Structure 1
């Protein structure tokens, strides 16, 4: 009996010790979880990849090219699909823009480009004012500001135009406000001001124009998204339409390949917003694609 009693007491004590250890371990896990949660609350998480690229189709996004990086971009637009089989549904004609964008700082980039249509040269600077974040610093949206200038070098046959350098120069200022709602959905609104020193294609005088752009991105897989952009103008030139573009982004490492359909041939802010003469309803839909390739040109930090 004594031996049985001793064994029973020993088993009972062992069970108590085991439950005590489990309880202590559980409390320790709770403490670790609480500590981790407290640390998370004391951190600021910056939102990444609101959009895949610094441009959705043609429109600039809030994204900034990384510091020390160069984004080499090639944009293509073909003729309208309604030209029929004779012009291979527009593929016999192509307009292109070649551009180089540079990341100067975490929130600052510049870019230059050349478009064959109208012999246009453009340059821009973009600065990110706010970046969406959560945690200690909760910022609900990302905000960027764009300033661009374009020079139209096209020669005009009409000698009465008397075109001067300032007549060929146009300016754009744009505010971009975007929010990434979740991993898949992002929206942006872009109030825009454009200054025409002279409206050469209408032989008119100076013009100040205002518009608002709406951008949307919906990811359908890890590397593929469906995009749309549309601009509403407060005042339109005769014979022009609001630009609408729908496309697909395919991310492949350092490349972003963009396929799209649009009613605009323009690839600068003033041309695609205010000089879109094609209508979706009349079949003036152009197929196009953009290629973006990032290169690291900054100095690597020594280990």
Structure 2
């Protein structure tokens, strides 16, 4: 089983490298024909993370993006209401993440989630960037993520440490249709070394979709959705699974991007919420959450220092 996971990650990055080399060569050739550099359109999304999804937005070289994502408890339903101050007394997940720009096209990130104490290591690569002249009509990003659960979350689930790993590969295709409206889709493959129930799929495919609409330069609405394709989840006799769905507002304030949202997924990281979302909007099992993103510049060029 583990050999398949290593093969998957190796193949993903080999494809990434080959495609990026071809893309760079193509872009340079096109620039040479036009006698100058191609102008790249503004990012389809301001932050590298929306509500549920990674986006094609990248951290620039030598910059560090620090994110804090918080999910409170159920607003309504049996676990919400006045006794928990509509969920504000509880937290279903708290996620802290650092993402560093190795280059303008390659980022590395590390995060820790309260939900099952998940640790994750991530690489994101900007394969293509949408251009203002329309010859490159959309942006494409590649994401590879490894998740690791270091502590016991349920008795006797992880009989071997290798079973604590999960692996996620994702292609993000985004387009900025106008200065105000952006849309993306995210085909996603999740591989888990150990599933929690008989009949569950160790390999799980999901499709994500996200959008942003800006009303002003610094204020907009966002929506985020995932659908896992799973016979186990569609036909489970006792447990009801629901597609993760989040809606919210996004506010830009200088170096910060602040998102306030409502979402039915309890956990923040894809390795957890794609297979394990059992909360229903219709039953009041949605929760308030927020994301704060702060960018730090760790290196200044000699030109800027003069």
Q: Same fold (TM over 0.5)?
A: yes
Q: What CA deviation, in whole Å up to 9, does each residue of 1:11-64 have, x standing for no partner?
A: xxxxxxxxxxxxxxxxxxxxxxxxxxxxx9966220112111001112100111
Quote the offset at 1:227 in angstroms.
0.4
Q: 2:101 aligns with which of 89, 100, 103?
A: 103
How far apart are the structure 2 equivalents of 1:51 and 1:157? 37
Q: Partner of 1:70 in structure 2?
A: 64
Mark the CA change 1:204 to 1:121 in structure 2 (over 3 Å): closer, same or farther. farther
Quote the offset at 1:162 in angstroms.
5.1
Q: Partner of 1:163 in structure 2?
A: 159
Q: 1:212 aligns with which of 200, 207, 212?
A: 207
- Structure 2 counterpart SS, 1:167: helix
Mark the CA change 1:85 to 1:41 in structure 2 (over 3 Å): closer, same or farther. farther
How far apart are the structure 2 equivalents of 1:164 and 1:249? 42
Contact 2:52 2:225 in 1 (8 A): no
Q: 2:149 aligns with which of 152, 157, 160?
A: 152
Q: Partner of 1:86 in structure 2?
A: 83
Q: Runs of at least 4 residues of structure 1 off by over 3 A?
A: 40-43, 203-206
Q: 1:194 aligns with which of 190, 194, 200?
A: 190
Q: Partner of 2:111 in structure 1?
A: 113
- Structure 1 counterpart SS, 2:184: strand
Mark the CA change 1:106 to 1:186 in structure 2 (over 3 Å): closer, same or farther. same
User: Which range is displaced more, 202-211 or 92-101?
Assistant: 202-211
* Higher gyration radius (CA): 1
Quote the offset at 1:108 in angstroms.
0.8
Quote the offset at 1:240 in angstroms.
1.6
RMSD: 1.9
Q: 2:48 aligns with which of 34, 44, 54?
A: 54
How far apart are the structure 2 equivalents of 1:162 and 1:276? 21
- Structure 2 counterpart SS, 1:264: coil
How far apart are the structure 2 equivalents of 1:199 and 1:259? 32
Contact 1:54 1:63 in 2 (8 A): yes
How far apart are the structure 2 equivalents of 1:203 and 1:298? 51
How far apart are the structure 1 equivalents of 2:69 and 2:158? 32
How far apart are the structure 2 equivalents of 1:298 and 1:101? 15
Q: Partner of 1:262 in structure 2?
A: 263
The answer to whether structure 1 residue 272 and structure 2 residue 266 are counterparts is no
Q: Partner of 2:7 in structure 1?
A: none
How far apart are the structure 2 equivalents of 1:251 and 1:167? 40
Q: What CA deviation, in whole Å up to 9, does each residue of 1:227-248 have, x standing for no partner?
A: 0011122115342211000011
How far apart are the structure 1 equivalents of 2:286 and 2:73? 8
